[in-house]
């Protein structure tokens, strides 16, 4: 039995844990988001309306842009001004295709406006200059008169935008410049100096953090530049095989690959704990956030697609992976203030897939949907059954509990492929109202949505719950996520 004690609320679950990442990569920005003002696909100011409506429904809190590896070769000035005059470039990281620069700063803020989401921009350290980064921040945020503010006005935007989050480089240990930790830490110190606060709003500065278990990177960054940053990032992808050269198929896999995927996903907990422990040493007050600004599944690309486009299908396995990650982020949300799944549309573990005018929601999208009531809620450290670790139900089960607006949200995941999980949840008071009872399940391990069958995997009402006073008795089938919201 899971026991929820009154007052077991420990920390807030920032809604930004449900952030997204949209890079100039494959068909994420172009086709997935931006179709242009002359497109026959329904759009508002060039941004497709079906995608915006779907993303608004899962309350996307913020969007990280423009990359990724792309960020360190992006020169923002090429992406402003009349679109017909913007120079094209080659996207050397991703497929060698022509990047038209049609989607730039103004289009990004238009997207955020339509989504009602916050900005998180990653600046170019790898191949850009300090002045270029300074100018971008000035262009976006300075009210009044200055060369960059005047340029913005000439481009049709009188008021500055809000820029709450700014990343200083991306994967500077790899595609962002192959730097050593000390080299980057010194670059960070210099570049961040010129990420100036022009308006009322402070800019939360995020330093490039470690790849997976590179704890030395975290140590050096915190020791050398910890006092100058607000957040430090971490990137960790779930690759079923653990091998970059043959990661595994998104849809064609067996039991062994399923469980390998679950195990590799759960390694996130160790990474969060160990990176946090290093941060605690330098920053015991937990001022600096751990920002997991890239996570998700990474499989072999869909056969027949450009391998540089990182297109992959998305099954109930991906939804379960998302739920397990959310559970870990909730538990560590005293340090983990934001995360960004990679990526929002048509790339890696996407929410949405598009094909011309058509769009489908993936199982991962529905996992996000099932967790919306956890946004900005209090994490409740509910006690597991004797013998289970906190948050776990036996070998395959997991739970997370939060509290907000006088109601508890309880999510239970069965990450197994075999038996149902039977679990009782004891709440501090009698249940009087069931606000939501939903289940996301797959008929098979690789159940997924296609353009021909877009609703194969989608939430249904959850009926397998008996309420007995203050107790919920749940039966959660294999490969399922259940969310109950009760007051």
- Contact positions vs ligand AHR (CB under 6 A): 23, 67-69, 170-171, 294, 342-343, 348
**Cα(302)–Cα(254) distance, integer angstroms:** 17
Q: How far is the CB of 7 from ligand AHR (least distance, A)?
A: 40
**Cα(306)–Cα(283) distance, integer angstroms:** 44
Find the DSSP H helices in 27-143.
Answer: 49-57, 105-115, 130-141
Q: How far is the CB of 331 from ligand AHR (least distance, A)?
A: 25
In the chain, % helix, strand, coil (3-state, to 5) comes to 30, 25, 45
**Cα(139)–Cα(196) distance, integer angstroms:** 11
- β partners of residue 481: 413, 440
**Cα(101)–Cα(144) distance, integer angstroms:** 27
Which C-beta is closer to ligand AHR: that of 222 or that of 342?
342
Q: How many C-beta neighbours within 10 Å does residue 277 have?
A: 12
Q: How many C-beta neighbours within 10 Å does residue 227 have?
A: 11
Task: Tell me the three state secondary structure of residue 346.
Answer: coil
Which C-beta is closer to ligand AHR: that of 283 or that of 293?
293
Q: How far is the CB of 171 from ligand AHR (least distance, A)?
A: 5
Q: How far is the CB of 128 from ligand AHR (least distance, A)?
A: 16
**Cα(404)–Cα(282) distance, integer angstroms:** 32
31, 257, 294, 398: which is the annotated catalytic residue? 294
Which C-beta is closer to ligand AHR: that of 104 or that of 296?
296
99, 107, 138, 171: which is the annotated catalytic residue? 171
Q: Is 441 left (phi over 0), alpha (psi -120 to 50) or beta?
A: beta
Task: Tell me the three state secondary structure of residue 280.
Answer: helix
Which C-beta is closer to ligand AHR: that of 157 or that of 235?
235
**Cα(208)–Cα(178) distance, integer angstroms:** 12
Closest C-alpha among 4, 8, 13 to residue 412: 4
Which C-beta is closer to ligand AHR: that of 346 or that of 480?
346
**Cα(393)–Cα(66) distance, integer angstroms:** 39
Task: Let me know how long the chain is.
Answer: 487
Q: Is 136 left (phi over 0), alpha (psi -120 to 50) or beta?
A: alpha
171 belongs to the catalytic site: yes
**Helices 147-154 and 130-141 sit at what angle, rounded to 10 degrees?**
60
Angle at the Cα of 34 (from 28 to 39), degrees rounded to 5? 130
Which C-beta is closer to ligand AHR: that of 170 or that of 354?
170
How far does the chain reach from its first CA to its final CA, in angstroms? 19
Which C-beta is closer to ligand AHR: that of 138 or that of 294?
294
Could you please report the per-residue DSSP string of 123-154?
E--SS--HHHHHHHHHHHH--S--HHHHHHHH
Residue nearest to ligand AHR (CB): 68
Q: How far is the CB of 25 from ligand AHR (least distance, A)?
A: 6
Q: How far is the CB of 75 from ligand AHR (least distance, A)?
A: 17
Q: How far is the CB of 254 from ligand AHR (least distance, A)?
A: 26
Which C-beta is closer to ligand AHR: that of 50 or that of 213?
213
**Cα(457)–Cα(363) distance, integer angstroms:** 6
Q: How far is the CB of 93 from ligand AHR (least distance, A)?
A: 7
Which C-beta is closer to ligand AHR: that of 62 or that of 457?
62
Q: How far is the CB of 92 from ligand AHR (least distance, A)?
A: 12
Catalytic residues: 171, 294
């Amino acid at each position: 039995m899971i026991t929820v004690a009154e007052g077991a609320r420990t920390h807030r679950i920032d809604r930004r844990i449900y952030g997204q990442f949209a890079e100039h990569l494959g068909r994420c920005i172009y086709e997935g988001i931006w179709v242009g003002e002359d497109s026959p696909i329904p759009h508002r100011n060039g941004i497709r309306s079906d995608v915006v409506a779907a993303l608004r429904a899962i309350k996307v809190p913020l969007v990280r842009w423009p990359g990724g590896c792309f960020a360190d070769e992006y020169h923002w000035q090429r992406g402003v001004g009349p679109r017909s005059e913007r120079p094209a470039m080659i996207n050397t990281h991703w497929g060698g295709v022509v990047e038209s620069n049609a989607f730039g700063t103004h289009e990004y803020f238009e997207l955020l406006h339509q989504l009602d989401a916050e900005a998180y921009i990653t600046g170019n350290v790898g191949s850009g200059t300090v002045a270029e980064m300074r100018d971008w921040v000035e262009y976006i945020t300075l009210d009044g008169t200055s060369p960059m503010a005047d340029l913005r006005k000439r481009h049709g935007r009188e008021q500055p935008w809000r820029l709450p989050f700014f990343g200083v480089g991306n994967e500077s240990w790899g595609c962002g410049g192959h730097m050593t930790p000390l080299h980057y830490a010194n670059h960070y110190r210099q570049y961040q100096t010129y990420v100036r606060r022009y308006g009322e709003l402070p800019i939360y500065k995020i330093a490039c953090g470690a790849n997976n278990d590179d704890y030395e990177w975290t140590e050096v960054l915190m020791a050398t530049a910890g006092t100058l940053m607000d957040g430090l990032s971490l990137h960790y992808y779930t690759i079923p095989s653990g091998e970059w050269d043959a990661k595994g198929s998104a849809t064609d896999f067996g039991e062994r690959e399923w469980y390998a995927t679950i195990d590799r996903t759960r390694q996130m907990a160790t990474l969060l704990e160990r990176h946090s422990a290093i941060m605690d040493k330098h920053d015991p007050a937990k001022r600096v956030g751990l920002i997991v600004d890239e996570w998700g599944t990474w499989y072999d690309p869909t056969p027949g697609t450009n391998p540089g486009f990182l297109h992959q299908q998305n099954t109930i396995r991906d939804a379960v992976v998302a739920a397990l990650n959310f559970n870990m982020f909730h538990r560590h949300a005293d340090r983990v203030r934001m995360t960004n799944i990679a990526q929002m549309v048509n790339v890696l573990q996407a929410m949405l897939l598009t094909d011309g005018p058509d769009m489908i929601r993936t199982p991962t999208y529905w996992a996000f949907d099932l967790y919306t009531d956890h946004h900005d809620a209090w994490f409740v450290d509910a006690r597991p059954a004797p013998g289970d670790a906190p948050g776990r139900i036996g070998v395959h089960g997991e739970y997370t509990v939060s509290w907000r607006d006088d109601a508890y949200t309880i999510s239970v995941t069965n990450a197994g492929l075999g038996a149902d999980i039977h679990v009782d949840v004891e709440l501090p008071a009698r249940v009087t109202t069931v606000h939501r009872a939903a289940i996301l399940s797959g008929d098979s391990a690789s159940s997924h949505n296609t353009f021909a069958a877009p609703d194969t995997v989608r939430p249904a009402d959850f009926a397998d719950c008996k309420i007995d006073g203050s107790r919920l008795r749940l039966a959660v089938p294999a490969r399922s996520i259940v969310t109950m919201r009760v007051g």
